[in-house]
A = this chain, B = another copy of it.
Amino acid sequence: MHTSSSDQRTATYSATPRTRPTRKPDRAHYDEATVHAILDEEFVCHLGFIADGAPVVLPTLYARVGHRLYLHGSTGSRPQRSASDGLDVCVTVTITDGLVLARSAMNHSVNYRSVIAHGTAYRVTSPDELSTAYDAVIEQVVAGRSADCRMPNAKERAQTAILRLDLDEVSAKVRAGGVADDPEDMELPYWAGVVPLARTTAAPAQDPAQDPAITLPPYLRTEI
């Protein structure tokens, strides 16, 4: 059971049977700083839910606002249609930081940071909260952008649906650092080490239909 609530937050989420890993417990983290930093670095989560008795996992845009996630979808999509009365979900965000090449096949690994949140998601219906969520989803992708585009009109709002998931039952898992080979393997002749991975951006390509006098905004020069 979790002990935190929106009125009584501490800086740590509480472990529950579902968020306690069955193995490698040293990789689990529950502090908000670790959990939120991972959530804030990405913008695509994998949203799991049950449809017709079977699991479904959809890549989904999201935003974190405080202790809450907003999950983006169209009003016609399966999870959004199902969520009026609450939809049990598992939201997973994964960032891969490196390939860990050990001397033994067994000790090969991946450096990664992931967050898994369990809970019941609800359709956002309040116009104010919807506005907050729309802005947050755009900001999650490119900070600074929500103030520099045309906001949705009434018709567009009616086509977009947002699910809200309160962050209560949530944990992070982090694997970092170098190779961990067994002592008896240390002299084996296989190259061992870490290949760092990162997501990078290339030069933004302006819409050819746009007047080139409209220059790249500052948030695309500094944030990306």
Chain B residues near A94 (CB, 8 Å)?
44, 46, 59
- Contact residues of A with B, CB < 8 Å? 18, 22-23, 43-44, 46-51, 53-59, 61, 74, 76-78, 88-92, 94, 96, 99, 101-106, 108, 110, 112, 114, 116, 118, 134, 138, 141-142, 145-146, 148-152, 156, 159-160, 178-179, 181, 185-186, 188-210, 214-217, 220, 224
**B210 and A192: CB pair below 8 A?**
yes
Chain B residues near A23 (CB, 8 Å)?
74, 76-77
Chain B residues near A78 (CB, 8 Å)?
22
**B92 and A58: CB pair below 8 A?**
yes
**A156 and B104: CB pair below 8 A?**
yes
Cα distance, A205 to B97, chains bound together (Å):
13
**B220 and A191: CB pair below 8 A?**
yes
* A-B CB contact pairs (8 Å), 15 listed: A22-B76, A23-B74, A50-B55, A55-B90, A99-B142, A101-B204, A110-B141, A178-B205, A186-B209, A192-B210, A193-B205, A195-B220, A196-B203, A196-B205, A197-B201
The distance from the CB of A80 to the nearest CB of chain B, in whole angstroms, is: 10
- Complex copy number for this chain: 2
The distance from the CB of A196 to the nearest CB of chain B, in whole angstroms, is: 4
The distance from the CB of A202 to the nearest CB of chain B, in whole angstroms, is: 4
Most buried by B among A91, A116, A141: A141
The distance from the CB of A91 to the nearest CB of chain B, in whole angstroms, is: 7
Chain B residues near A148 (CB, 8 Å)?
190-191
Chain B residues near A18 (CB, 8 Å)?
51, 54, 56
**B199 and A197: CB pair below 8 A?**
yes
Identify the closest chain B residue to A209 (Cβ): B186
Most buried by B among A94, A106, A152, A224: A106
